[in-house]
Each structure stands twice: as C-alpha cells, then as structure tokens.
Amino acid sequence: MIGIARLALAGLVAIMAMGAARAEDALKAKIGVLRLSSSAPVFIAQDKGYFREAGLDVELKFFDAAQPIAVATTSGDIDFGVTAFTAGLYNLAGKGVLKVIGGMSREKAGYPLIGYFASNNAYAAGLKTPKDLAGKRVAMTQVGSSFHYSLGLLADKYGFKLADVKIVPLQSLSNAAAALKGETVDAALLPISTARKLMDDGGAKFLGWVGDETPWQLGAVFASPKTLTNKALVTKFLGVLAKADREYHDVILAAMKDGVAPINEQTKPLLEIIAKYTNLPVEQVVGNCAYIDPDGKLDVKNVDNQIKWLQEQGFADKGFDVNAIIAKEFVKAD
C-alpha cells in the first residue's frame, strides 16, 4: 500500500511539474487598452481563456486616454496597444518606433460609440445638432486625438472652419465629462459609456453619433519593432484576436437592431464579459457595442486619409504615409 501511495504521489508531483513547466513556457504579453467596448474582443479573449489556450500569459493594463497607450508601447511598458489612432501615435509610427498590425473599432452608422454632447446651457442657447458646433468650446482628451479628427471630418462635411472651434484638451475622458457637466465648455466628444451617466443625471444633451455623421477607422492594434521580432508571440496574439473578433461580430453585432444588442441566451455571456471590463451594467453595454470588422481588417485607405489630414493641420510630422507605419506581413487590408 505504501508503494502504491508513493507511486500516486510521484505521479501527482510529475503532473504538477508539467503544469508548472507549461506555465513557464507561456509567452508573456502586456496589452494596453481603455475600458471601452472598442476593446471588446480583447476582453472576450482574456475572460474566456483564449489567450491562455494559445500559450499566452496576458496581462491587461488599463489607461484613461489613447495617446499614453502608444507611448507605453514604444517604451516597452506594454507589448501591444489596442486603442484609437492619434496624431501622437502616427508621429511615433512615422519615426519607426511603432507599427500598426491590425484593425479594431470603426465608426460606422448604426453602431453607437463616440457621440457629440452639449452642455445644458449651450443646448438651451441653440446648440441642437453636430453642425452647430462652429464657434463653440469643445472638450476632448487631446489635440490631434481621434476626437479631433472626428470634429475635422464634421467641419468638412458641413462647411465650417475647424479653426473657428475652440478646442479644449483636458487629457482624459473623465475630465472632459466633468467640464461638460460643470458648464465650462459648450460641448464634448465622448464615448457613450462615459456620457450615458451624464445624460441619465440630466448633465448633458445628446447631439449625434460620429459613426452616423462621418464613418471612419477609429482603432487599431499596434506594437513596437522589438515586439515584432518575436514572430511567435505576434502570430499567436493576432490569431486569438481574430477568433474573438469573429465571435463578437457574429454573436453581438449581427444581432443588433437600431443600435442596441438584445439580451438573450447567446449574447448575454459576452455582454457580461464586456460589462465586467468596462465597469458598466449589461443594460448599458447593449447600446454601446462598437463595430469591429469580423476579420480584424484595417481600412488602409482611411488611415492614409487620417495621416494626410493630421499633417495638413500641423498635428503630425510630414514625410511619411500609411505604407511607412503598417507591418504589411501582419495587416489584413480592407
């Protein structure tokens, strides 16, 4: 009996040792994200164990604005960034210290994500629609951010000068929301996840969705050249994201109607995961599901347009185009 017990114990130790070895063999990666639905596939892959199953030991690091994610990627604080394009990101990529390796969220009609919101006083004074933003004080995270580009597209659409808008960069979403509620700005561009509580509390008025006004490629996946030398890591990471992109699209986005996802047996598990990572109740997540291409494709033509626009505005350095910032061996072009 003692011999059998010893054999059983030895077997258990061997199994534990094998598990520990597999854990040590896992490729480690830190991913920088915002707590927004635009990163939903990342949350799904992490929560459902897809990264772990692919041999990846992933840690999510959360930020409050897009630009710091790009900086953290170049410094090596994180291995991958998943967030919106910004002038700062493009400048880093133009210098060769950052590469775009895939697409993520898009502004698309019918999928509420980023909206234009007015303060109560400004709304009462006549700020009723996005085209009324000319001449107003508008809060956003940073100059040259995705919000700034959205406003530039809006100005082009309605024929007013972007220079006539007083941009108020407040560095974070929470600061922009506070300024709107406090009536120190006339309007703000905010994700619905941030703006919803403002509206529910009567602190802001909704004007319109960026995706309905000016659709464009909002977010991307990117990495530093150093990270890209680890082909196994990048290939596994993108493979897992592709799986999660497809699941998110086919289960949630395909079921959406009038900008809202239904809560049912199929969608609820994924909606609960998004709610967990965005710190929102499921009832709010359903109207806050960003569009993401099911194959993780990148709208390369629009990205080139973004670069040119930012360069014309003086927000991005000149001398590079979209071909200089994408890692063609990884990017699936749309």
Which tens digit of pLDDT belongs to each residue from 192-243?
Answer: 888 888 988 999 999 999 999 999 999 999 999 999 999 999 999 999 999 9
For the cut 60, the answer to whether the pLDDT of residue 99 exceeds it is: yes
The helix-helix angle for 146-158 and 300-313 (nearest 10°) equals 90
d(CA 7, CA 1) in angstroms, rounded, equals 10
Could you give the 3-state DSSP secondary structure of residue 66?
A: coil
Evaluated on CA atoms 133, 139, 143, 148, the torsion sign reads: negative
Neighbours of 109 (CB within 10 A): 14
For residues 101 and 299, the answer to whether their CB atoms sit within 8 Å is no
More confident residue, 112 or 6: 112
The residue whose two tokens read 């709010």 is: 284
Exposure string for 265-294, b = 16+ CB within 10 A, e = fewer: eebbebbebbbebbebebebbbbbbbbbbe
Distances (CA, A) of 136 to 6, 109, 123, 201: 78, 25, 11, 23
More confident residue, 226 or 26: 226
Position 21 confidence tier, pLDDT thresholds 50, 70, 90: very low
d(CA 274, CA 288) in angstroms, rounded, equals 10
For residues 116 and 186, the answer to whether their CB atoms sit within 8 Å is no
Nearby residues of 18 by Cβ (< 8 Å), 6 or more positions away = none
d(CA 297, CA 284) in angstroms, rounded, equals 27
Element (DSSP H or E) covering residue 219: strand 219-223
The helix-helix angle for 268-278 and 231-251 (nearest 10°) equals 120
Q: Is 319 exposed, middle or buried (0-12, 13-18, 19+ CB in 10 A)?
A: exposed
d(CA 286, CA 292) in angstroms, rounded, equals 15
Q: What is the pLDDT of residues 230-285, one digit of tens each?
A: 999 999 999 999 999 999 999 999 999 999 999 999 999 999 999 999 999 999 99
Nearby residues of 97 by Cβ (< 8 Å), 6 or more positions away = 74, 224, 225
For residues 214 and 153, the answer to whether their CB atoms sit within 8 Å is yes
Q: What is the DSSP string of 33-50?
A: EESSGGGHHHHHHHHTTH
